[in-house]
Structure formats: C-alpha cells, structure tokens
Amino acid sequence: MGTDTDKPVLAVRDLVTAFYTPRGTFHAVDGVNLTVRRGQTVALVGESGSGKSVTCMSIMRLLAAPAARIVSGRILFRSRSGLECDLAQLDEHAMRALRGNEIAMIFQEPMTSLNPTGTIGTQIAEVLRLHRPISRRAAMAEAVRLLGLVEIADPARHVESYPHHLSGGMRQRVMIAMALACGPSLLLADEPTTALDVTVQAQILRLLRTLQQELGMGVLFITHNLGVVAEIADQVSVMYGGQVVETAPVRALFDAPGHPYTRALMASLPRMDAVLATPRRLPMIRGSMVDPHRPPPGCRFAPRCDMVLPACEAAVPDEYKIGIEHQSRCLRWQELA
C-alpha cells in the first residue's frame, strides 16, 4: 500500500501556456507533463527557448498577464498537510500564501532578484515575517542561522551587508537561504549556477544536494548544462519546442538516450578522451529552434532531425515506453535504444 511519501509533491498534467503577441498567439508550453516526488531532483533540460523557464513561471503563477496565461492543464501540488490543490485554479491570494512558504524559487540571476536598497538580513527576514507570526528580532536571528546553513562565513556580519557587497556565489547562497527560509516542500531552481564559475558552481550544487537531503524537498532543477544534470538529478525531462520529448532516470538517459534530440545534445558535449586524442569539431544540431508561431504539424524536432521519416512530419508522435519510468516521443525509439 502506498503512503503519502510515495505521492508526488508536484504533478503537472497536459500544461498549455500561451503568449498573446502582435504576431498572434503561440504556445510556449504545449502539453507538458512532469512529476516531482519528495526528496527527488528532476532536471528540466533543453536549449534556450524550449519552454523550461515558462514552465517554471507557470507553476509559480508568475506569468505577466494578460500577455501570457495558462490555457489548460493541471498543476497538482501536495502541501505539508497532505492536501492536494490545483495551482492553475487557485486565486492570487491563495497563491501568495504558498509562494515562498510551501513552494520556493531560486531565480536565474541573483543580482536582479535581490533588492539593492535593502540589507541581506532584512530581505530574508521579510520572507519569514510574511508567512510566520514572528518578531523582527527573531526573524533577524533566523536570517543569521539560514546564512550559516548555506555556508556563508561570519553570517552575523553579512546580514548587514547589501547585495553589491557580495560576490556572485555569495549572492546565490543568499537566494538559496531566502528560498529555504520557510522549509518549502517544493523548490524550483531556474538555472541557479549559469552565471557562476565552475568552482563556485560545484559548491552550489553540493550545497543544494546536502540541503535537499536534510529537508526532504522535491526539486525541479532547470538547466541547459548536461554536466549539471549528471551531477544533481535523479530524473530528467528533455524539452524541445514547448514539449517534453523524453523522460528518464538520469542513468538510463545517459546510457541509452531514446530521442534524436537528446542524443544530439549529448554528442555536442566535449569529452576528455576526445580532447586528448586528435582534435575534432564538436557535432552541432543543424538548423534553428522551431518558430513557436509556426510549429510543424508533426514532431517539433523533425526539421532538424537526421532520422526523420514522413510519418514524423505528419502527426505529433505518441509517447513510447522504453523502460521503467523511461518514455520517448519518437517513432524510431527502438533503433536508438
């Protein structure tokens, strides 16, 4: 018999998000399905423009209306109490009670996410006081504890610092501290290591893994870096043109990718054995990302695919089951597997 811990903290079902522009309406997210369980990290991978961040903003209900809105689908979230709600149907008041409390987000660029006129401690304390009946003094003491939790040296001094006093890595740690302030059940991380050098990136990834194990959060980690995926993810969903084209456990995905797009992404990674051998050009994916205003009628990747068949261009392929929790939206998955 299943328990509450077996049930997903997040289940996105057939999510469609539309943008309304002078050129017409287009679906930046088109039928996306995702599942995140407690204690699990799911990586959402794809090129820029594939719909990763829009998926994240749709879950948080931070889309800029009326230019963008959720057209259809469900975003099922399970709270600490075990109650399930559809985030797509909640009013703004109910969403504000969840944001920063039970669902938190680490944004892509910390310098533009932090208030340059407020101290670090004040900004963390604001999150706590918004969701908890806590005094300012107690909130500042908790801010010091949280900065220590994310391994910022001398946290009592840094609560009085302003964002411009800190390095990029320290600002990102502050963003993590703010996100974890209320002990969320679900953490959305939108490319939190993109602007950091590789040493700091490794430190941030290690920190996120450690904190996740301690707090038991579900994490949706958005990235275009497959090296980061291999480091941090349990499950991977690959996005292209607003759709999830492949979902798999991380080991299965790297061992046997079941979609030409996934395979092409992996082929474009530099390999150490290749670097030490005869120099060669990295393979590239020909063509450009699909125009969201005029998507092809069939597989979104068909115009750039080396394995395309006439049937691929006629209709959107179904999802095919390759293995345990491994699905691919490709007619030729058997050849790839």
Strands 218-223 and 235-240: unpaired
H/E segment holding residue 320: strand 320-323
Mean of all residue pLDDT scores within the chain: 90
Residue-wise pLDDT for 34-61, tens only, equals 999 999 999 999 988 899 999 999 999 9
**Percent of the chain scoring above 70 in pLDDT:** 95
Separation in Å, CA 28 to CA 16, 57, 94? 8, 11, 25
Helix, coil or strand: residue 235: strand
pLDDT computed for residue 2 by the predictor: 44
pLDDT at 289: 87
Strand partners, 248: 236
What digits encode the pLDDT tens for the residues 81-113? 889 999 999 999 999 999 999 999 998 777 778
Which segments in the chain show pLDDT lower than 50?
Answer: 1-3
For position 193, what pLDDT does the model report?
79
How many whole angstroms from its chain centre is CA 64?
19
Q: Which domains does the chain have, with CATH numbers?
A: 8-102+184-336 (3.40.50.300), 111-181 (no CATH)
* Phi-psi domain of 46 (left: phi exceeds 0; alpha: psi -120 through 50; beta: other): left
Of 256, 161, 150, 166, which is closest to residue 208 (Cα–Cα)?
Answer: 150
